[in-house]
Amino acid sequence: GDSVTQMEGPVTLSEEAFLTINCTYTATGYPSLFWYVQYPGEGLQLLLKATKADDKGSNKGFEATYRKETTSFHLEKGSVQVSDSAVYFCALSSSRNQFYFGTGTSLTVIP
């Protein structure tokens, strides 16, 4: 079945460091891919998305490219800030109208 595998955390980085969180997926058909962010005590918010192969989603300095050949959607940011500390979830929407999330990666950015 469809699934998302996400890099284990937690991840701790210094401010202005480069961030990569790996995400790979298994799906039939052509899913849309998403990154959601969850700040402490809150629900999830959409960070970025891509709906077809080679699309690049971007928002707030974060980027991810939909790579069909490697079934990946890695999240990157060139220079993280303390305010980026949160839990990040990779997700896909399946052809069966369902949604699948990865297990989440906790990021802590220290000044």
Binding site for another protein (CB under 8 A): 6, 31-32, 42-46, 49, 51, 89, 91, 93-95, 97-104
In the complex with another protein, the residue whose CB is nearer, 45 or 83, is: 45
CB of 54 to another protein, least distance (A): 14
Residue 13 CB, nearest distance to another protein (Å)? Answer: 21
Q: How far apart are CA 2 and CA 76, in angstroms?
A: 23
CB atoms within 10 A of CB 97: 6
Min dist CB 29 to another protein, Å, is 8
* Look-up of token digits 């799906």: 27
Q: Quick count: other Cβ atoms within 10 Å of Cβ 55?
A: 15
